[in-house]
Structure formats: C-alpha cells, structure tokens
C-alpha cells in the first residue's frame, strides 16, 4: 500500500543527489512531488520526469530559497496548483571547500551565502509551508543537516556552523509547530554525490571515512532518502530530533 497517496511533497534542491533520491523515494510511496531548483533546471526536469513516470503528480519550480520573496511565491504556486502541501524536505544547500585552518580564505561573500542558503533558506521554507500544513492538520518537515554540525569539521567552518544552526532550528520549529507538524533533521556523513567533485583530496577523504566506518562503505543518496522517508511515513511520535546517517563513524 502506498502510504502517501494524496499528499504532496516539496523537495528543495530536488534535481540532483540526495534531493533527487528523496523525491523519487516519496513518489514511490504515492506522494506528488514538487522539485525545487535554483540553477539546475535540466537536472530538475529530469527528476520531475522520473517522478511522473511513477504515476504521481509532479512539477518543477524555480526559486532561490535564500530569497524570502521567492520562497513565498513558490509556496503560493504550490497551493494554487495542488491546493495543499503536506511534506517539506529542506535539502537545498551551499558550500565552498576551504581548509578549516585557513581562516582567511573563506571570504565574506562565501560565508554569507552559506548561511543565507543553508539557514535562512531552511527557515523561510518552513515558515511559508507551515500554514498550508496546519490547515490540513498534518505536516512533516525534514531538514538536511550534516555531521559537520556536530563535529565542526567538513567543507568549511561556515558550512559546519550553518549545519549546527539547522540542527538548532529543527528543535525550535518542532516546539512551535507541534502538534500538527513534526520537524526532524537528517545529518549525513560522507555521501557519494557530485559535491565531492569539489574536494581536492577526495580519495584521502574516502580512505579516512572508510577506516572509521562500522559498515565499511561510504553512503549513497538512497541511504539518506531511506531515513528521510521513514521520518515522513513512520515516525509519528518523533519530533525535534536529528538522525545521524554515517555508518556509525561519529560514535
């Protein structure tokens, strides 16, 4: 039985990587999917086609989640098209790979862009989507954080700090949006996506991860999608939590 039939999900940054995997996973459970993108129009269209091929409603919508006005317009478009929004996956993210020890290579523009997308964007989307969910008396929000938000490591200091903020934001929103809406987060470790193309020492990074991975492999977008979908479908008594998805490496 497809548990999410009749419900609609918005996946930000849904054209590629983890966003694409989550969009397809939710579609397989019967949810209609709105694939948000900022610049990756071709990839979003491809994901939308694959979602529609699963027999559920699908559309793409362009919006920069760091822009509050564009987010509000996106949610209004979703309401006009489908009349409801039940699930929000805040997956859109930004980073620039800078050695954490190099404190002066991360310029103000990159620092601000990281927070504008990762933190402001998450908040703007949650704030805009909540009234639609409240109206129907049910909603599920899943924010994509990172293990960097716990351990302070990652692609940059700004990225780690922004993901720590997403974890905190998840707790705050869980409190104020209950009981109709649950708000949780997923914190992936090393996931094989195109983001790794920006890592100068990617082989060394993989080797380090695998040396401390209890499950002996790096993660896939589908691993993250599995957890995000479970938070939407099954975990009805869980809110304000962040689930680490890193093969036990952070223990």
What single string gives the DSSP state of each residue in 41-68?
HHHHHHHHHHHHTTTS-EEEEE--TT-H
Q: What are phi and psi of 9, to 5 degrees?
A: -120, 140
193 pLDDT exceeds 60? yes
Six-digit token pair at 229? 């979908």
Mean pLDDT of 105-131: 96
Q: Round to whole Å and give the CA distance between 60 and 11.
A: 10
Q: What average pLDDT does the chain have?
A: 93
What DSSP character marks residue 201? T
Burial category of 192 from C-beta neighbours within 10 Å (exposed 0-12, middle 13-18, buried 19 and up): middle
159 catalytic? Reply is yes
Q: Which of these is catalytic: 37, 104, 124, 159?
A: 159
3-state helix, strand, coil in the chain (%, to 5): 50, 15, 35
Q: Round to whole Å and give the CA distance between 68 and 71.
A: 5
In tens, the pLDDT along 11-66 reads 999 999 999 999 999 999 999 999 999 999 999 999 999 999 999 999 999 999 99
pLDDT of residue 197: 61
pLDDT of residue 200: 54
Domain ranges across the chain: 8-245
198 pLDDT exceeds 60? no
SS3 readout for 144-176: ECCCHHHHCCCCCHHHHHHHHHHHHHHHHHHHH
Among 69-78, 119-128, 198-207, which is the least confidently predicted range? 198-207
- pTM for the whole thing? 0.94
Architecture of domain 8-245: 3-Layer(aba) Sandwich (3.40)
């Amino acid at each position: 039985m497809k548990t999410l039939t009749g419900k609609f999900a918005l996946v930000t940054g849904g054209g590629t990587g983890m966003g694409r995997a989550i969009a397809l996973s939710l579609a397989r459970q019967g949810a209609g999917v709105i694939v948000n993108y900022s610049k990756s129009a071709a990839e979003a269209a491809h994901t939308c086609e694959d979602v529609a091929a699963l027999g559920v409603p699908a559309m793409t919508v362009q919006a920069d989640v760091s822009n509050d006005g564009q987010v509000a317009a996106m949610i209004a478009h979703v309401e006009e098209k489908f009349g409801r929004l039940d699930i929000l996956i805040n997956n859109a993210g930004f980073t620039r790979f800078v050695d954490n020890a190099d404190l002066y290579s991360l310029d103000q523009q990159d620092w601000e862009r990281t927070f504008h997308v990762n933190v402001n964007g998450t908040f703007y989307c949650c704030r805009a989507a909540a009234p639609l969910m409240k109206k129907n008396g049910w909603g599920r929000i899943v924010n994509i954080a990172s293990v960097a938000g716990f351990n302070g490591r990652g692609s940059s200091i700004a990225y780690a700090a922004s993901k720590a903020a997403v974890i905190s934001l998840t707790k705050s929103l869980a409190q104020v949006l209950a009981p109709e809406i649950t708000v949780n987060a997923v914190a992936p470790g090393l996931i094989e996506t195109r983001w790794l193309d920006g890592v100068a020492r990617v082989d060394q990074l993989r080797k380090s991860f695998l040396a401390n991975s209890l499950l002996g492999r790096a993660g896939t977008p589908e691993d993250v999608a599995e957890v995000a979908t479970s938070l939407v479908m099954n975990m009805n008594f869980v809110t304000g939590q962040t689930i680490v998805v890193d093969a036990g490496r952070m223990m």
